[in-house]
A and B are shown apart, each in its own frame.
Chain A
Amino acid sequence: MFNDFKELSSLQIDALKEIGNIGAGNAATALAQMVNTKIDLNIPRVSILPFDDVFEYLGGADLPMVGIFLGVTGSAPCNILFLMPVEKAWILVDMLMGRNPDEKQDMEFGEMDISAMMEVGNIIAATYLNALSMFTQLQFYPSVPGIGIDMVGALMDAVLAQFGQIGDHVLLLETQFLKDENGIMGNFFLLPEPGSLDSILSALGVNF
């Protein structure tokens, strides 16, 4: 079995990108229905990075972001992290709550805003995993969502700590969600645990 992620072939990387595409495609459709607007996707990226390079990949450790996390158990345990820059998260919650952004008084997210964002996390994770499950015939069970609003480095660091027991690299399968006039709304990350990658790649017929 696989201890670290360094030795993936290009065929395996393409297979993972395909999963990202299908999973995030379903998730984007679900999100688009919730906010009643069109949501587009970028081509997924697969990156295998030493922990230390993840901050740079995200554009700097100090950027304020909203992170929604779900742990996924089942035959191939994974982590899901949906990151949104704080200003984009405001656009999203204003749309979900039917508020006019120009009339906004509050500078901080209210309790309703937080639970709306968690629900978004729930729905996009569930639809993503559904597609992944159909594709691989593996079972995935997401946890309840957790939310953090802080510097992105600190959010990511809490997630990466789980990978530290086994290796020094993490595999990020990233798909960006876009909305016409606002650009990138959020980045959806699937972080399979090292052992899970075997199961997923075998199910896709591109095992070692």
Chain B
Amino acid sequence: MAKIIQVGMADMKYSNAPDKLTTAGLGSCIGICIIDKSKKIGSLAHIMLPSSLQAKNAQNRAKFADSAIELVLEELSKQGTTNHASLVAKIAGGAQMFKFSGESDILKIGERNSIAVQENLEKHRIKLLAKDIGGNYGRTITFDLQTGDLLVRTIGYGEHLI
């Protein structure tokens, strides 16, 4: 039986096909989905911030783009995935949820998260297959480990597979 596994905020889970991994209410946060298609094993990390290096408290590694990707790689290698070339990624989130009148830098973390996630994927040579990032709307995502499809649901912007 396929399970649907909930991933919380600043949390990371992995599983095998045919399970699905899901996380709700991505605003400025980003859902990083990484899968080894040959082994049908994959992970979903819900990160909040771009870098663990600037944080006063970086104990929870799933909270930051850089340390979450390292954590995923460690967990997947324990499961037998040692070759990063067999890993592919899809990402969603990184929105600017609040609209301010005039120019404002308040709460502009989404864009920095998007850049950091892409840089860190590149650093570990994980191929980014698809992304649905930015904009000003929230996303709820479900990652199907059987097909590698990522379902993105929104309010007012429909739902689609990437």
Contact = CB atoms under 8 A, between A and B. Distances in A.
Interface residues of A, number: 39
B116 to A, nearest CB: 12
B106 to A, nearest CB: 5
B106 A157 contact: no
B56 A157 contact: no
A135 interface: no
Interface stretch (B20-28, B76-84, B124-132): B20-28
B109 A161 contact: yes
Interface in B94-140: 95-102, 104, 106-107, 109-110, 136-140
> What band does the interface of chain B fall in when counting residues whose beta carbon is under 8 Å from A?
35 or more
Contacts of B24: 55, 60-62, 151, 153
Interface of B: 8-11, 24-29, 48-49, 54-57, 59-60, 63, 95-102, 104, 106-107, 109-110, 136-140, 154-156
25 contacts: A51-B8, A51-B48, A52-B11, A55-B25, A71-B106, A143-B104, A143-B106, A145-B100, A148-B97, A148-B136, A151-B138, A151-B140, A151-B155, A153-B140, A154-B27, A154-B137, A154-B139, A157-B25, A157-B29, A157-B97, A157-B138, A158-B95, A160-B48, A161-B27, A164-B48
| Pairs A-B, 3 closest by C-beta atoms | A153-B25, A154-B138, A61-B25
Interface of A: 3-4, 51-52, 54-55, 60-62, 64, 67, 69, 71, 115, 118, 143-148, 150-162, 164-168
